[in-house]
């Protein structure tokens, strides 16, 4: 087959489509060189100029390999491999001279398109890859069929892809799952934002500018009120004068809940954030996956969460937490760095003198925030070395981390053990999917104080300043001109419905496609009636299913081919009949081939041998059960030679 210009342009389009999604991940010089190589091949095809000599391509290839080695400092690894594949595919276009080269490029394009999953596994990525695969298949059909028009090529390519769906489904459902991907996590598995193990003024307000999903939650049964939706994350104990940090727990004692009631069951689908903490509702009692419950009730995964993680948990909404907190933990919850925030220390000492109980001290602090002109804002002024003094007495503008951090400082200065808890608060209910969506702008910080008769008690100073933040979300607590993520500002019912539909679709994709792990596979197959599932049995069932589908497809193709050949036999017989009709010997509608041949032989004895031969060949091919290729060709030649 000759390499025509349309075929070459189709191959250029294939390489362009499979390479385009990688542009944001590749070095800029690689994208520039690939674009130049594709443009060069297109120009050579348009102008009819000869391809560059092999020695020049060899020099360019070696230069590219050396440049890649210099850029990545290695020739191994995922990013290097993808870069090399794209460069080699672009270079291959410039040495393409035969059909074999076209086949290599088609296969190479199919392989490169899979590498998109290294960076993203979202629905838009999958749809783009499917569209690209359709173009690749249409180019392959063009290679096989030659001058077939574009629309028929596209239709055949679409049919081929549709025919592959049943086989793909069988392999997807039955292929034994492995724990984790074969070549590492996709790029979107590593969160660009999320809660860290430290908190400083401005850290959560910056996080609230992101509308990325943190996790989704489905409640199984009773649902808490919005004011109870505190999703516990890192607990911060240590203050160095500027920021709060987790540090290490001073005890290994297991946390204890006393008089715990009001259980709530729920399932969390946590997006990857590359940290070990799992988010649970205050206070956690049980979790379905292997995880550690720290003495401060923080739930920690055994490894960083670098893949979408699904777990069920039970929390108790009414409780007394760690009534018997060890003395070393209480001392840790009182520690403050020397020399910082003298005004705040003095204020806390005055409150302690006036308060007849720890709870009265807490109420005094909350009342101070509520009555002294404090504002809740995403854009607080910068603070100096004595950040708590500056915030409480000067700026009086801050986000949740300012209020939580300063409140805990004041409580410690007054002699009441306290700590900062970070996590998420609230959430957006998607009534189309029946679950809550927690986004990064739902990140929150609150305080816990230790009371002798109640243990650790949650105190949220933000609620004293901006109760709407807890009751209705971030958007309700800030002025209309506040800088917020688009999704936090969206109030249009139409846009909300569209967003909820898209998120529900994304959630199903995450659960049943990306989240189809060993556990889900076994559960699904068990519901289908399979028992004692093992990898060996899965492999056998998968191969059996593939063989069955291939067998059915083969039989259908053979039957279709047989019908086509039978139709060809009928067409040839009718052609012979038309020749006789022109000679005044038409065939009656009810007349079979043998009867018609007998009548022709009686009317035209000189045609006896030929007409009986044609009738016999027709009957053998039409009704003998096999329309063989050689027999059909012989019948065609006989009809062509039949003259009157």
Q: Which residues are catalytic?
A: 400, 444, 460
On whether the CB atoms of residues 213 and 358 are closer than 8 A, the answer is no
d(CA 433, CA 14): 37
Rounded to whole angstroms, what are the CA distances from 327 to 22, 237, 250, 330?
56, 15, 10, 5
Q: What SS3 class is residue 502?
A: helix
d(CA 644, CA 641): 10
On whether the CB atoms of residues 488 and 211 are closer than 8 A, the answer is yes
Phi-psi region of 597 (alpha: psi -120 to 50; beta: other; left: phi over 0): alpha
d(CA 40, CA 90): 10
d(CA 434, CA 276): 27
Q: What SS3 class is residue 429?
A: strand
30-46 burial by CB neighbour count: b if 16+ within 10 A, else e? bbebbeebbeebbebbe
Q: Smallest Cα–Cα separation from 42: which of 1, 93, 91?
A: 93
Q: Smallest Cα–Cα separation from 68: which of 86, 53, 41, 55?
A: 86
Helix (H) or strand (E) holding 437: strand 435-439
Percent of the chain as helix, strand, coil, to the nearest 5: 55, 15, 30
Residue with tokens 């060709």, as numbered in its chain: 633
* Phi then psi dihedrals of residue 190, to 5 deg: -110, 110
* Phi then psi dihedrals of residue 180, to 5 deg: 95, 160
On whether the CB atoms of residues 175 and 541 are closer than 8 A, the answer is no
Helix (H) or strand (E) holding 435: strand 435-439
36 token code pair: 């130049």
Angle between helix 5-19 and 28-47 (nearest 10): 170
Q: Smallest Cα–Cα separation from 11: which of 78, 109, 125, 80?
A: 109
Is the dihedral angle over the CA atoms 586, 591, 594, 600 positive or is it negative? negative
d(CA 400, CA 420): 11
């Amino acid at each position: 087959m000759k390499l025509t210009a349309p075929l070459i342009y189709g191959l250029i389009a294939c390489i362009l489509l499979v390479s385009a999604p990688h542009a944001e991940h590749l070095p800029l010089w690689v994208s520039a060189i690939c674009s130049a190589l594709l443009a060069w091949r297109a120009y050579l095809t348009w102008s009819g100029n000869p391809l560059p000599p092999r020695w020049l391509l060899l020099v360019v290839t070696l230069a590219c390999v050396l440049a890649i080695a210099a850029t990545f400092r290695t020739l191994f690894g995922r990013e290097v491999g993808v870069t090399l594949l794209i460069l080699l595919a672009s270079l291959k276009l410039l040495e393409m001279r035969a059909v074999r080269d076209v086949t290599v490029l088609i296969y190479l394009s199919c392989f490169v398109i899979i590498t998109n999953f290294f960076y993203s596994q979202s629905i838009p990525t999958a749809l783009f890859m499917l569209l690209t695969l359709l173009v690749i298949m249409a180019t392959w059909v063009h290679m096989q069929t030659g001058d077939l028009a574009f629309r028929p090529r596209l239709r055949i390519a679409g049919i081929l892809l549709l025919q592959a769906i049943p086989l793909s489904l069988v392999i997807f459902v039955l292929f034994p799952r492995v724990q984790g991907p074969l070549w590492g996590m996709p790029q979107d598995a590593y969160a660009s934002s999320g809660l860290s193990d430290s908190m400083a003024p401005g850290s959560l307000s910056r996080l609230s500018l992101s509308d990325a999903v943190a996790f989704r939650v489905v409640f199984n049964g009773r649902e808490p009120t919005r004011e109870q939706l505190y999703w516990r994350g890192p607990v911060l104990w240590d203050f160095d004068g500027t920021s709060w940090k987790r540090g290490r727990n001073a005890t290994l004692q297991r946390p204890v809940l006393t008089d715990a009631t009001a259980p709530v069951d729920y399932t969390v689908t946590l997006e990857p954030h590359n940290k070990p903490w799992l988010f649970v509702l205050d206070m956690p009692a049980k979790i379905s996956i292997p995880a550690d419950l720290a003495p401060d009730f923080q739930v920690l995964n055994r490894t960083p969460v670098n893949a979408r993680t699904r777990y069920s948990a039970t929390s108790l909404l009414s409780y007394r937490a760690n009534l018997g907190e060890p003395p070393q933990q209480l001392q840790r919850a009182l520690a403050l760095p020397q020399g910082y925030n003298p005004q705040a220390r003095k204020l806390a000492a005055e409150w302690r003198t006036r308060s007849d109980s720890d709870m009265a001290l807490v109420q005094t602090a909350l009342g101070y925030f509520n009555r002294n002109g404090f504002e809740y804002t995403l854009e607080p002024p910068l603070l100096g070395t004595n950040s708590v003094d500056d915030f409480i007495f000067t700026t009086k503008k801050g986000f949740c981390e300012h209020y939580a951090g300063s409140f805990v400082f004041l409580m410690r200065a007054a002699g009441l053990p306290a700590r900062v808890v970070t996590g998420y608060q609230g959430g957006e209910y998607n009534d189309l999917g029946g679950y809550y969506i927690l986004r990064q702008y739902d990140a929150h910080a609150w305080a816990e104080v230790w009371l002798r008769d109640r243990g650790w008690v949650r105190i949220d100073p933000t609620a004293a300043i901006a109760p709407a933040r807890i009751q209705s979300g971030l958007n309700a607590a800030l002025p209309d001109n506040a800088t917020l993520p688009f999704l936090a500002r969206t109030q249009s019912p139409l846009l909300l419905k569209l967003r909820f539909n898209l998120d529900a679709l994304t959630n199903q994709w995450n659960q049943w496609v990306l989240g189809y792990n060993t556990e889900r596979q076994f559960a699904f197959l068990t519901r289908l009636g399979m028992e004692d599932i093992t990898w060996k049995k899965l492999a056998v069932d998968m191969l059996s299913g593939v063989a069955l589908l291939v067998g059915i497809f083969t039989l259908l193709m053979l039957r279709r081919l047989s019908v086509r050949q039978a139709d060809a036999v009928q067409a040839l017989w009718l052609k012979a009949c038309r020749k006789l009709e022109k000679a005044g010997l038409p065939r009656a509608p009810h007349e079979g081939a043998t009867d018609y041949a007998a009548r022709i032989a009686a009317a035209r004895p000189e045609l006896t041998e030929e007409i009986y031969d044609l009738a016999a060949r027709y009957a053998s091919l039409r009704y003998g059960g096999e329309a063989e290729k050689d027999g059909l060709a012989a019948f065609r030649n006989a009809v062509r030679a039949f003259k009157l």
